[in-house]
Chain A
Amino acid sequence: MTDRYVRSTDGSDSDDGSTWALAKATLAGVAAIDAAGDRIFVSDNHAESTASAVSLVFAGTAASPTQIICGDDSAEPPTAVSEAGAVSSTGASSHITFDGFLFCHGLTITAGATTDAADIRLGQAGGNQLQKYRSCDFIIGGSGGARLRITNGSATNKVELSDCGIRFGAATQGLVCPGDFMWRGGSILSGGVAPSNLILQSGGVTLIDGVDLSNGATGMNLVVPSATAGRTVFRNCKLPASWSGGLVNASPTGAARIEMHNCDSGDTNYKLWVETLAGAIKDETTLVKTGGASDGDTPLSWKMATSANAEYPLHVLRSPEIAVPITSVGASKTITVDILHDSATALKDDEIWIEVQYLGTSGFPLSLFADDAKADVLAAAADQAASAATWTTTGMSNPNEQKLEVSFTPQEKGVALVTVCIAKASYTAYVDPVAQVS
């Protein structure tokens, strides 16, 4: 492992980069000589600009990743990190690409100027790359065709942004992340152009936690599902003021599952939104069970609305899991979930049911599964049981209260996971997301 130094103010790519005095002038200069495991210190006075594409392939490997650290250049090596280092490009197609297993702290990466169509590409090549960026900012040039492409080269790559900011230059720009992508903390930066859609393509697992998205457009949609597979989850994010965007800009058409948990532009803590091919799930605060789920102040339920694609047994709208602590074993338990829908006709057990995953193997954490769906695909369907629960049924013509019940005998203490499933097409049911155990 070697420490290498980069400083644009007085460096030269002809030097060996072994000290600040012999610093390289550009990241490309140091990427040409680095070895796996090296630490590359970028001066807090570094501000390189290239009038063409910048392709940086670092030698880091899974066992020995590269570290690119912006730091105070008054010490060698630096003893304090900085967020003042800058790498930029200008010109059409002046893409900036980072490849290799690496950790990067404190760079501002700017691709393209006002009208340039220049991407920032992280993990462009294959090779199951893992990259993490902390306290970095990514600024995309002004052309509508430019993108922040993350794991674009391979769906097996994984990139994490921690406390990073992103600024867009045109409303049609956004994120493209076919691999695994995590954005934890940070924000959409002000000063740019608010994007109309945030995630234009995703593939693997995309997790966006605690990100301030409020500089997005008021009508910003979070995901374009037409180019999305895998699972995309937003948690605990701040949305634009008076947000009128959608979780998706159109209904999903493929295998994607897009979720949003506790994200809002206002002071709430119960928001839920799920979009899949089989339908959508949203929080509901009017049609609620008396004495049912609540955040402490606001009674709530889950509105599960299937699309025309829903169909038993494959295209099933599945709720988020409801975790139920199991503290005693050996005796049968019954889990009950109350539902409400607007029809004089009861829902049957091939239209709505619950599935329970429980620890049913003594001596091992091997789960078993129980449900109250019909016995098998050829069995006759039967009505789900009626419920005596009381609901607010404002606006309903034929409010119909039913319950879903499963009995099982746990053999190990732990957590049972309950999922509500709906397969009746183009139908809406309200679910009290409290799994009652008896």
Chain B
Amino acid sequence: MPIVSSTHTLGHAQRDGRRYVTERHTDHTGRVHVREYLAAPGVDTDALMAAQAAALGEQLRADQLTQIESDLFERGVNPFPANNGDFDHVTRAEALGWLLGRHIDDPAEVIVKVAPLMAAVTDAEMLALGMTVDQVNGIRARVDAAVQIKAQIDAYNASLVTA
């Protein structure tokens, strides 16, 4: 979970008894996420803080996966961390597994965009996600085939230009 610590403080009571609560959630990168809400009397603010930390962690992860997908498939931007490292809130293996789950049946020219991430993820990491050996081999073969098809398409297009 990317949230490593959480604290909260209570404000003074409003006329209707509710109080503003300020939560501070620190993620593993050191960034502090401050959230405020209005708590009714008797609300378990500790429990809410814990739930919010979990939800925030999941949202950070989901947002990063969505951004990776958008960068890769829609904006044509390379989202991969330098030196094949992990992303802030997801590992590269998790990102690959998520992207494959959404795009493995797409046309070759779409799948080929996943190829750089495939190269940065080991078979052991993919098996750790729950894939079988056959699944890992099958996915690598499909991505490799997509790369070859794209290369052929690019070569053909280049020949049209020179012609």
Partners in one complex: yes
Interface residues of B in 1-27 (CB under 8 A from A): 12-16, 20, 25
| Contact partners of A280 in chain B: CB under 8 A | 36
Kindly provide the distance from the CB of B26 to the nearest chain A CB, expressed in whole angstroms: 11
CA A92 to CA B106, docked complex, whole Å: 10
**Is A251 a contact partner of B13 (Cβ separation < 8 A)?**
no
Partner of B105, one of A93, A244, A286: A93
Kindly provide the distance from the CB of A275 to the nearest chain B CB, expressed in whole angstroms: 9
**Is A196 a contact partner of B34 (Cβ separation < 8 A)?**
no
CA A379 to CA B25, docked complex, whole Å: 40
CA A418 to CA B34, docked complex, whole Å: 29
B59 at the binding interface (Cβ < 8 Å): yes
CA A266 to CA B15, docked complex, whole Å: 14
Partner of A246, one of B35, B58, B65: B35
**Is A117 a contact partner of B101 (Cβ separation < 8 A)?**
yes
CA A251 to CA B33, docked complex, whole Å: 6
Range, interface on chain A: 35 or more
Residue of A221, A224, A245, A246 ringed by the most chain B CB atoms within 10 A: A246
Query: Do A244 and B59 form a contact, CB below 8 Å, given A92-B101, A249-B33, A282-B20?
Result: no
| Contact partners of A285 in chain B: CB under 8 A | 14-16
- Chain A residue with Cβ nearest B106: A93
Kindly provide the distance from the CB of A197 to the nearest chain B CB, expressed in whole angstroms: 6
Interface string of B89-128 (1 = CB under 8 A from A): 0000000001001110110000000000000000000000
Kindly provide the distance from the CB of B37 to the nearest chain A CB, expressed in whole angstroms: 5
**Is B12 a contact partner of A224 (Cβ separation < 8 A)?**
no
Interface residues of A in 272-307 (CB under 8 A from B): 280, 282, 284-287, 298-299
A219 at the binding interface (Cβ < 8 Å): yes
| Contact partners of B39 in chain A: CB under 8 A | 244
Kindly provide the distance from the CB of A348 to the nearest chain B CB, expressed in whole angstroms: 26
A226 at the binding interface (Cβ < 8 Å): yes
- Chain A residue with Cβ nearest B66: A145
| Contact partners of B40 in chain A: CB under 8 A | 242, 244
**Is B14 a contact partner of A284 (Cβ separation < 8 A)?**
yes
| Contact partners of A249 in chain B: CB under 8 A | 33, 35, 52, 55-56, 59
A147 at the binding interface (Cβ < 8 Å): yes
Partner of A171, one of B25, B37, B58, B66: B58
Q: How many A-B residue pairs have CB under 8 A?
A: 89
**Is A145 a contact partner of B33 (Cβ separation < 8 A)?**
no
CA A159 to CA B103, docked complex, whole Å: 27
**Is B101 a contact partner of A224 (Cβ separation < 8 A)?**
no
A78 at the binding interface (Cβ < 8 Å): no
**Is A243 a contact partner of B103 (Cβ separation < 8 A)?**
no
Kindly provide the distance from the CB of B66 to the nearest chain A CB, expressed in whole angstroms: 6
B51 at the binding interface (Cβ < 8 Å): yes
Interface string of A47-80 (1 = CB under 8 A from B): 0000000000000000000000000000000000
A22 at the binding interface (Cβ < 8 Å): no
A139 at the binding interface (Cβ < 8 Å): no
| Contact partners of A248 in chain B: CB under 8 A | 35
CA A109 to CA B37, docked complex, whole Å: 33
| Contact partners of B66 in chain A: CB under 8 A | 145, 147, 200
Interface string of B31-49 (1 = CB under 8 A from A): 0011111111001000010
**Is A145 a contact partner of B12 (Cβ separation < 8 A)?**
no
| Contact partners of B65 in chain A: CB under 8 A | 145
CA A197 to CA B40, docked complex, whole Å: 20
A336 at the binding interface (Cβ < 8 Å): no
**Is A219 a contact partner of B16 (Cβ separation < 8 A)?**
no
A172 at the binding interface (Cβ < 8 Å): yes
CA A187 to CA B55, docked complex, whole Å: 23
**Is A196 a contact partner of B59 (Cβ separation < 8 A)?**
yes
In the complex, 24 of the A-B residue pairs with CB atoms within 8 angstroms, ordered by the A residue number, are A92-B101, A92-B102, A117-B101, A117-B102, A147-B66, A172-B62, A196-B59, A197-B55, A219-B52, A244-B38, A244-B43, A248-B35, A249-B56, A249-B59, A250-B33, A250-B34, A251-B33, A266-B16, A280-B36, A284-B14, A285-B16, A287-B12, A298-B15, A394-B12
Give me the interface of B with A, judged by CB distance under 8 Å: 12-16, 20, 25, 33-40, 43, 48, 51-52, 55-56, 58-59, 62-63, 65-67, 69, 98, 101-103, 105-106
Given contacts A172-B62, A244-B39, A244-B43, 18 further A-B contacts (CB under 8 A): A145-B66, A171-B58, A196-B58, A196-B59, A200-B66, A221-B35, A246-B35, A250-B25, A250-B35, A251-B33, A251-B34, A280-B36, A286-B13, A286-B14, A286-B15, A287-B12, A394-B12, A395-B12
Give me the interface of A with B, judged by CB distance under 8 Å: 92-93, 117, 143-145, 147, 171-172, 196-197, 200, 219, 221, 224, 226-227, 242-251, 266, 268, 280, 282, 284-287, 298-299, 394-395
- Those 4 A-B pairs whose CB atoms lie nearest each other, nearest first: A250-B33, A285-B15, A172-B62, A251-B34
